[in-house]
Structure 1
Amino acid sequence: MTDLFVFRNTTVEPLFGSEGVRCSGYGDISDPGEEAAACVWAYTLPVGCDIGAQIREADSYIDRLRLVLDRIGPARMCYLFTLACPYVLPVESGSGALRAAVARYDAALYAFAAARPNVRVLDFASFLGRYACGERIDWRHWFLARTAVSPRLQSDFRHWFAAERRAALMQRRKCLVLDLDNTLWGGVLGEEGPEGIRIGGDYPGNAYLLFQQGIRELARTGVILTVCSKNNEADVLEVWERNPELVLRRDDFAARRINWRDKAGNIRELAAELNIGLDSMVFVDDNPAERELVRRMVPEVAVPDFPEQPYRLPEFLRDMADRYFRIYALTAEDRAKTEQYRANAARAEAARGYADFGDYLRSLGMVLTIRRADDFTRPRVAQMTQKTNQFNLTTRRYSEADIRRIEDGGGRVYTLSVRDRFGDSGITGCLIVADGAIDTLLLSCRILGRGIERAFLRTVLALLRREGVATLSACYLPTAKNGQTARFYDREGFTPVARGADGSVRYTLDLTAADTAVDACYTIECE
C-alpha cells in the first residue's frame, strides 16, 4: 500500500522522494489515490509574472480541493499545505490583492479542517518563508523540470514534514527535566543566594526570564515539568518562595530530584515516580558533562545541546519545542496534565497511611465513567493510541480518521474517564471492539496501580453481553514496553487458543459465563 498520494501542480518528487509516494499529474484531481494511506494537497502559487492570473488560479484551487476532499471522504488522513509563493514579481507594492487571495485560500483550508476530523493543515508557507527568494527556487530546475521548490531544500523539507505529521498524530515527548543553576536562572544559587541569581531585569536575567516564560507555555500545553538539580533542596525551596522575578515555582513541577546524586539515576527515579517511559523525557542542562553522562547512561532520554550564551535561549527554546513538543491540537487532558500528576503524588502519599490496600482504594471514592466515543472525544482516543505504550495490549496506532472508519464499519469505541477525591484524571482509557474482537485495550500510566483496568474491562464486557454478544476474541501483541499486560487476559478468564513464536497470544471468551462483577470501591457511570 502506498503511504502517500500527493496532489500537486508542480514537480514535488525531489521533496517527497519516491519510496511509498505516488503523485498526481500536474493539476489533475481525477485520481483520488485510493490505494494510499494518506493524501497531501501540495499546491503552490503558480510561478509567473501575471499577478492577476496568480490570484485567479489560487481562487480556483479552493473549489478543486473541495471536490478532492468530498471524493476522499472521512476514512483517510489528508494533509493540506498552506499556499506558498515561490516567486512573485514585486511591482505594485501598495496592492494587497495577492495577499488577500492567499489569505482566502488558507482560510478555506482551515475551514475544511474544522469541518472534517481527518484533515490537518500544515503551514508549508511558513516553512518556505525561512529561506530567501533565491534559495526557495532553483531556476534551472524550474525551466527544465517544473520544480517550483528547490531540490536543495529536500533534507530540511523532509525533517519538517515528518515533524508535522508526528504533531498531527499527537506524537510527542511528555516530560521536560530541567536543571536550575545557569539553566532556569543565571548564576549558582548556593553561592549567590535567592536574591543574587540573575532572573528578570537587564541581560542576562531578561534572557532567563523569557526562557522560563516559554517553559511555562509548554506546561500549559501538557508538557510535564520536573527538576533534576545538584543543589541543597532547602535553598531551592527558599528561592521559589522569596524571589519575586521567578515565573516557574514549586507548584509548576510535578516531581523533583534536588540532591547531590548522579543525574542519570535521578532521572530514572523521576520516570518511575511519574510512571512514564524514559523515551518520553527531554533533559535540559547547561553542563556538558552532565549532558554526556545522561546520554551514555540513559540513551532513551533526549538531550539537546544547551546554548553557551544566554542570548541564544530564545532560539534554543523554539528549536526544542519544535523538535520534541509540537502538537497539532490540545485536548482537555493535555491542559490538565501537570495537575493530574501532582494528584497522583498526593495519592501515593495517602497510600502510605494505609496498612490495607483495599481500605486505601475504598478511601479514594473512585468514579469510572464509561461512554462511547463521539466527535469531542475521538481526538483524545486517537492521541492515546499514538502515545500509550505500557498498558496497551496491542499497541495499534490510529488517527481520528481510523477511529471513525472502525465505527463506520460497526465497531464500538469506549472511553474511560476517572475521578476521585484527589481530582479528575480525564479520559485515560479506551477499549475498541471490532469484528467480534477486542482490537485495542489501553490505559494511561496515570491511572495504573488501582485496579481500574479490571473494572473497565468487566464493565464493557457486561455492556456487550447486554447487547447480545455471546463470544469475544482478543489478543496480546508483545512489545518492548507492554510486558506488564502479558497475563492480563489470562487473569480475567480468557482462554488462550494460539501462541505465536514472538510471544503473541490469541484468546477467546464465552461472555455468557464471564465474570463481570466489579468491586464496590468503584462507582460506575455508563453514558
Structure 2
Amino acid sequence: MEFFIFRNMTIERFFSNYKTSFSGYEDISFIDPDAERYIWFYLAPIKTDNKVISAEIRNYIDLLKLTISRIPSSKTFIIFTLSDIYSINTITGANDIKEAVKYYNSTLHELALEHNNIKVLDFENFLSRYSSTELIDWKYYFISQMALNPRLSNPFHDWFKKQVKSIELKRKKCLILDLDNTLWGGILGEDGIEGIQIGGDYPGKAFLMFQKQIEELGKQGVILAVCSKNNIEDVRQAWSLNNSIVLKENHFAALKINWVNKADNIKELAQELNIGLDSMVFLDDNPSERDLIKTVIPEVEVPDFPTQPYMLPEFFKSIAEKYFSIYNLTSEDLSKTKQYKENALRNNVKSTFTDMNDYIRSLEIELSIEEVNNITIVRAAQMTQKTNQFNLTTQRYTDTDLSEMLNDGAKIYTLSVKDKFGESGITGLSICKLNGETVDIDSFLLSCRILGKGIEDAFMNWILNELKLLNFKAVNSKYISTAKNIQVKDFYERFGFEIISESGSIKSYSLNLGDVQINLSDNYKYNYK
C-alpha cells in the first residue's frame, strides 16, 4: 500500500488514483505499519460555534504530534496545511479561527524542521484557484461528510501528483529560450537594440517581469540556455548596450544563436550539457518552431506560448509549477549554471592535450568522499531521482528511504569533485548494504557533469579499497539495463567482477576482494572525511 491517510472528513475520492487506506475520522488509534508513506489531511471542522472550531483546530496539533511520535522516522509523512473552507464570522473583530489556523500551520513548519521525514504541502495553493462557492457541494457533505466538492477531485489529482514529484525531487533540468518575441518584444535584427520592447511601458514591462521570473528559476538550479535564429554579434551587442535586459550572457550555460534549424541546435545543446532531451523544456513564440520540436524531438516539453504579453505571468506560473517545482534546494542546485560553464572550460582545455593522463593531471582534481549525513542526504536522494545515464541500477529513493537504510547499517558514500576550474559539488553516490562479511552495492551513480575524466573508475576503486580495509570479503552488485544507461553495461567487469547470473535486463555480479589488487590512481587527490 502506497499511502495510509489520517483524515477528519471523507476524502477517498481525492486519492482514488493511489493505493491507499484511511483512518477513521479524527482517529489515530491505528497506524498501518505496512504503508510506504503517510498523509495527514485535515480540514477546519464545519460547526456553528467559532470558539469550538478554533479549539478543535488546536487539538488537531496535539493529535498530530502524538501520531508523529508513532510513525517511523524513515518513512515520509506528508502533511497538508489546514484551510478554513467554510465558517461564518458575524463578530468582525473576532479572529479565533484565523488565529487557530495560523497557529496550526506555523506549527507544521516547525515540526518539519525537527523531523526530516515530514513534508508540508501548502493546500491553500490548490484551494486558491476556486471561489468559496466552488469548494463545497453541500449535498455531498450532508450525505457522506465530504466537505470538499467531489468535482475538484480530478484537478486535485493533477496538483497532488506534482507535489509528490517535487518531494521526490523530480523536475526538468533545463529551460531553453528563444529571444525575439519571447524574452523581449520585437525582432532584434529588424527593430534594433533600442527598438525591442523590454522594460518601460506595456508590453515591455511584461517581458521585463518574465525575464526576472526566469532569472529566479536559474538561481534555483534550473539550467538556462538560448536557442535563437539571430546573429550572435547582434545579440551580444544588445546584452552589452541595452540595460533593460535582465538575462545577459552570463545567465546562460550554453548558447545556440545561429541560423541552423532549432531541432539540430537543441540536440547539440543536450550533448554539450550532457543531459537527456527529456529533461528539457523549450519556449518559443513561433508555432512552426514549436511544432518542429514536437515532431522531431518529442522528448522535449514544448508548451504553447501565450499570444499576448499580458498573459506571460500566468504562463510562467504554470510552467514553473508543472516542470520545475522542487520541495527544497541543495547547494549544488544553487550553482548549477556556474558548474556547467566550468565544464565547458574543461572541455576547451582537453582539446589542447594529446595524452589523457596529462590532461587529467593538469586539472588538479580532488575527490572528497564522505558518508552521508543530515545535510547531504537530500542531495544524495536527489541524485537517485535525477541520474539516468551513469547509473548502474536506477533505483529511486527519497531522503527518508536513505535514512531507513542508514538505520539498517548501510554505508552511503557521497563524492564531491573539485578542480582548478571550480567545484562540482556532490556528483557521485554509492549505496553499500552490509550483510555479514559481504557487501551489496545497491546503487552506484555519477552525474554526467563529471564524466570523461576517469573519476568513475577512481571512485569505484576507492570504494573497493575502503571495503577491503574494513575487512569485508566479497562484494555483490547488479547492472539493471534501461534505455538510458547502456554506457555502463560492462562497468563492473572492468574491476574483475564475475557475472554470476544474467536474466532479462539484470546482470548480477560478485567479486572476491581477496583476489584483486586495488590501485588508487595518482591522477587524483583523495580526501576522506
Alpha carbons 1:458, 1:515 under 8 Å: kept: no
1:376-525 aligned at under 5 Å gives the runs: 376-435=375-434, 436-502=439-505, 504-525=506-527
1:290-301 aligned at under 5 Å gives the runs: 290-301=289-300
Count of aligned residue pairs for this structure pair: 525
How far is the alpha carbon of 1:93 from its aligned partner? Answer: 2.3
Alpha carbons 2:17, 2:157 under 8 Å: kept: no
How far is the alpha carbon of 1:204 from its aligned partner? Answer: 0.5
1:162-311 aligned at under 5 Å gives the runs: 162-311=161-310
Alpha carbons of structure 1 residues 19 and 338: separation in structure 2 relative to 1, 3 Å: closer
Q: Deviation string for 1:180-230 (max 9, x for gaps)?
A: 000000000000111111100000000000000000000000000000001
Alpha carbons 1:110, 1:121 under 8 Å: kept: yes
Which aligned segments of 4 or more residues in structure 1 are displaced greater than 6 angstroms? none
351-360 vs 16-25, greater mean Cα deviation? 16-25
Structure-1 separation of matches of 2:393 and 2:200: 52
Structure-1 separation of matches of 2:130 and 2:220: 29
Structure-1 separation of matches of 2:76 and 2:59: 23
Structure-1 separation of matches of 2:496 and 2:217: 43
- Give the partner amino acid of 1:111: E
Q: Deviation string for 1:133-156 (max 9, x for gaps)?
A: 110010000000000111000111
Structure-1 separation of matches of 2:18 and 2:197: 51
TM-score (norm 2): 0.98
Secondary structure class of the residue paired with 2:307: coil
Structure-2 separation of matches of 1:173 and 1:378: 21
How far is the alpha carbon of 1:354 from its aligned partner? Answer: 1.1
Secondary structure class of the residue paired with 1:386: helix
Q: Deviation string for 1:379-425 (max 9, x for gaps)?
A: 00011011110100000011111101101101100000000000000
Structure-1 separation of matches of 2:525 and 2:351: 23
- Give the partner amino acid of 1:243: N
Structure-2 separation of matches of 1:304 and 1:85: 34
Secondary structure class of the residue paired with 2:257: strand
- Give the partner amino acid of 2:274: N
Q: Tell me, which stretches of 5 or more residues in structure 2 are unaligned?
A: none
- The aligned counterpart of 1:60 is 59
Cα RMSD (Å) of the superposition?
A: 0.9
Alpha carbons 1:392, 1:440 under 8 Å: kept: yes
Q: Deviation string for 1:265-308 (max 9, x for gaps)?
A: 11010000000000100000000110011011111101111000
Secondary structure class of the residue paired with 1:106: helix
Structure-2 separation of matches of 1:471 and 1:92: 73
Alpha carbons 2:75, 2:117 under 8 Å: kept: yes
1:6-155 aligned at under 5 Å gives the runs: 6-17=5-16, 19-155=18-154
Secondary structure class of the residue paired with 1:282: strand
How far is the alpha carbon of 1:18 from its aligned partner? Answer: 6.3
How far is the alpha carbon of 1:19 from its aligned partner? Answer: 4.5
Q: Tell me, which stretches of 5 or more residues in structure 1 are unaligned?
A: none
Structure-1 separation of matches of 2:503 and 2:72: 37
Structure-2 separation of matches of 1:231 and 1:291: 17
Structure-1 separation of matches of 2:352 and 2:23: 65
